[in-house]
Chains A and B, each alone.
Chain A
């Protein structure tokens, strides 16, 4: 697992990222990466996951929730290659994808995809999570899924 940010910046520097305001509801999601875990709440009543984390299960309204590690694998549901330099500390162009996690079809995250050329990204592409720390936030980032013994760069 990566920890120090190294992807997405220019001149060897980490990109400047706007960070999420962490709340009690979503702290495990934004900090689970420290232990290499992608965590989202799963309902003990209906067994369904939801995202973003909320105090009630939005499916059955149960309060019996627990953050459970996901596999970190998913597929690209959609994506864009951002070319416009809104923020010059990012290396351009870069991919911003909507990732559908493999555990449940409506479990989606926005993230970046590194470890491949932006032009090679396509809808349906399998990806897997890795984490980089920015202050107290461990951002889930993704790279193409490499089956069996894939390298960690």
Chain B
């Protein structure tokens, strides 16, 4: 068989805006800052961008969540597009990445700009809240779909939905809070070396165990931190590689599968998630194996989701994640699987999967500064999503 579609596509540009808490800057300003930097990083001009994609596109919902829509970004930069898309459905936050890879491979576009912007920290400056609720009263719309089956019972937050999975896993397998804590502690150690990260102060196991509970078994330090910031990539046809000024990072495989029910509580086995399906799909599209991965950036909107991805991607056996992360040595920057090396979302800020992918690109380019993994990483994986949402990409330095 000829090479996979993914392998004809490269990441030519990657950049971020200012990242922080409550920057009080506009979402479009942050977006354009990241987009223009990514186009420059790719050695391109905006006239050469002929594709545009984002997640989730402009939508209502939690304030600061969606960022600007693609029409706004297109018009702001006066882009002439052959292909464009955005939407909240699909392979989680990486749907626009995975779709852009396909669009480039199919020839719909040659250089696709992909961005994700959040301003949740500024939007939530009055306090963190669940979905559409701050004490009731009239005017709250009725919910349909799965939200209509969960919200009436006070399951307002994704922390509740994720907690069901973690609780069931702890019932069936061995996972202690001390083990789970290692995801958060590892992230904080890495964040200390990342000037863009939001929380950089030292964190101890005692801090974790004494943090207030949010939704059992998840405590505050199992939850990521709302942030403001934009991340952008340029995804290009591989024949552009010879003109690139940056090291060439090629797509090796993507995973977008969802085989079980698309639900936060109806999946047959709640000790697995859509991540399990997407991971299997990804490995079916490459000859590389989990042991070939040099650095992993796995979604940590909640610490439990990282554990889920570790198992789903085969870095440890089913039920073996607790033992794998115990003590944190294996997932440290000098461990067998350097994990969330920029501090992830738990300490770096909730850039909704795009910060993780950015970190993967930096590590493969050897541009991660003080936190650069020393083993000259050539293969990286980035994965985003939880529950019924999952998308993953495997990247390799050419």
Contact = CB atoms under 8 A, between A and B. Distances in A.
Interface of A: 8, 15-23, 51-52, 77-84, 86-90, 94, 96, 98, 106, 108-112, 123, 134, 137, 139, 141
24 contacts: A17-B152, A20-B149, A22-B142, A23-B144, A78-B168, A78-B265, A80-B164, A80-B167, A81-B213, A81-B215, A81-B216, A83-B214, A84-B214, A86-B157, A87-B133, A87-B156, A90-B154, A96-B153, A96-B160, A108-B265, A109-B149, A112-B154, A123-B167, A139-B152
Contact of B154 (A20, A77, A82, A134): A82
Interface in B65-91: none
Contacts of B152: 17-20, 134, 137, 139
Contact of A123 (B132, B153, B171, B266): B171
A77 to B, nearest CB: 7
Contacts of B60: none
Given A19-B152, A87-B130, A110 B265 contact: yes
Given A18-B140, A20-B143, A78-B171, A111 B153 contact: yes
Contacts of B131: 18
A112 B150 CA distance: 10
B135 A16 contact: yes
Interface of B: 129-137, 140-144, 148-157, 159-160, 163-165, 167-168, 171, 212-218, 265-266, 268, 270
Given A20-B142, A139-B152, A87 B159 contact: no
A19 to B, nearest CB: 5
The winner among A21, A77, A78 for most chain B CB atoms within 10 A is A78
Q: Which one of B151, B154, B212 has the highest number of Cβ atoms from chain A below 10 Å of its Cβ?
A: B154
A82 B149 CA distance: 17
Given A18-B133, A86-B129, A79 B142 contact: no
Contacts of A83: 212-216
A88 B215 CA distance: 15
Contacts of B265: 78, 98, 108, 110
Contacts of A139: 152-153
A94 B160 CA distance: 11
A141 B152 CA distance: 10
Given A17-B154, A20-B152, A80-B160, A89 B135 contact: yes
Given A80-B163, A83-B215, A98-B164, A16 B136 contact: yes
Contact of B167 (A79, A94, A110): A79
B135 A84 contact: no
Nearest to A141: B153
Contacts of B270: 77-78, 98
A146 to B, nearest CB: 21
Nearest to A123: B171
B213 to A, nearest CB: 5
B143 A21 contact: yes
Contacts of B171: 78, 123
B361 to A, nearest CB: 35
Contact of A94 (B154, B157, B213, B214): B154
B133 A110 contact: no
A87 B143 CA distance: 16
A21 B141 CA distance: 8
What 6 pairs across the A-B complex have the smallest Cβ distances? A16-B136, A80-B163, A86-B130, A20-B148, A21-B142, A78-B168
Contacts of B137: 16
A110 B150 contact: yes
Contacts of B214: 82-84
Residue of A19, A51, A88, A94 with most partner-chain B CB within 10 A: A19
Given A20-B142, A20-B143, A52 B160 contact: no
